[in-house]
């Protein structure tokens, strides 16, 4: 028997361990996005500001920290590692696709995809990776304590990805982000001009 019940994905169906959490996560993302986007068309100034401020803050918080919410849900429902990662990264992917579609209003498809290397997009990808790695370690700790299992909490892969995310973020934010931006812009000119 597998000592880690989170890895034993036979205890829950694919629907309950993966599809439903994915659906709920994407539903929350698009509900917040569409509410925020629609709030710009509200005529009442007070309601407009309340919607944009409150829903905008919730939307930003969910985008940045969804891995802290979704990854443990997948973990404790028994999702396999690839299901936990893909299900959690689905929110980041939805946001990235939305950004590419938004940029195609002004740029070619190739330039819009290249736009994903900008510091904000790179930062959100790195944050998502880092929070998934951290969530894996915390979930293992909780599982070990709760079930009194002989389970290694610290394993090489989550530590590697946490360090990758931290070092990548440090690289992106070096010199206040200016160094990364100028490198990005130089690469952009080299590829598209």
Q: What is the DSSP string of 68-129?
A: HHHHHHHHHTT--HHHHHHHHHHHHHHHHHHHHHHHTTTS-HHHHHHGGGSHHHHHHHHHHH
**Whether pLDDT at 139 is above 90:** yes
Min mean pLDDT across 72-76, 105-109, 150-154 is at 150-154
How sure is the predictor about 10, in pLDDT bands with cuts at 50, 70 and 90?
Answer: low
Domain total in the chain: 1
Query: Which two structure tokens, joined as six digits, stand for 72?
Result: 């443990």
The pTM is what?
0.86
Q: Are 8 and 147 in contact (CB under 8 A)?
A: no
Q: What is the pLDDT of residue 51?
A: 86
Give the separation between CA 112 and CA 102, rounded to whole angstroms: 8
Give me the phi and psi of 76, to 5 degrees please. -80, -5
pLDDT mean over 131-158 = 91
Straight-line distance from the first to the last Cα atom of the chain, in angstroms, rounded to the nearest whole number: 58
Rounded to the nearest angstrom, the gap between the alpha carbon of residue 11 and the centroid of all alpha carbons in its chain is 26
Percent of the chain at pLDDT exceeding 70: 94
Place of tokens 């160094």: 179
Query: Which two structure tokens, joined as six digits, stand for 76?
Result: 């404790």
Containing structural domain, residue 110: 5-192
Query: Which two structure tokens, joined as six digits, stand for 176?
Result: 């206040």
């Amino acid at each position: 028997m597998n000592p880690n019940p989170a890895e034993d994905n036979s205890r829950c169906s694919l629907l309950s361990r993966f599809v439903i959490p994915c659906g709920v996560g994407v539903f929350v993302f698009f509900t917040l996005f569409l509410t925020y986007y629609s709030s710009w068309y509200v005529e009442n100034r007070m309601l407009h500001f309340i919607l944009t401020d409150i829903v905008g803050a919730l939307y930003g918080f969910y985008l940045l920290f969804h891995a802290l919410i979704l990854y443990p849900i997948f973990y404790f429902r028994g999702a396999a590692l690839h299901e936990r990662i893909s299900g959690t990264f689905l929110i980041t992917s939805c946001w990235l696709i939305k950004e590419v579609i938004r940029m195609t209003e002004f740029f070619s498809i190739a330039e819009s995809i290249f736009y994903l290397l900008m510091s904000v997009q790179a930062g959100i990808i790195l944050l998502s990776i880092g929070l998934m790695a951290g969530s894996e370690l915390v979930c293992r700790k909780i599982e070990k304590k709760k079930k009194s299992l002989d389970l290694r909490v610290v394993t090489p892969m989550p530590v590697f990805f946490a360090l990758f995310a931290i070092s990548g973020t440090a690289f992106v934010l070096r010199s206040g982000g200016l160094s990364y931006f100028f490198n990005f812009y130089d690469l952009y000119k080299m590829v598209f001009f």
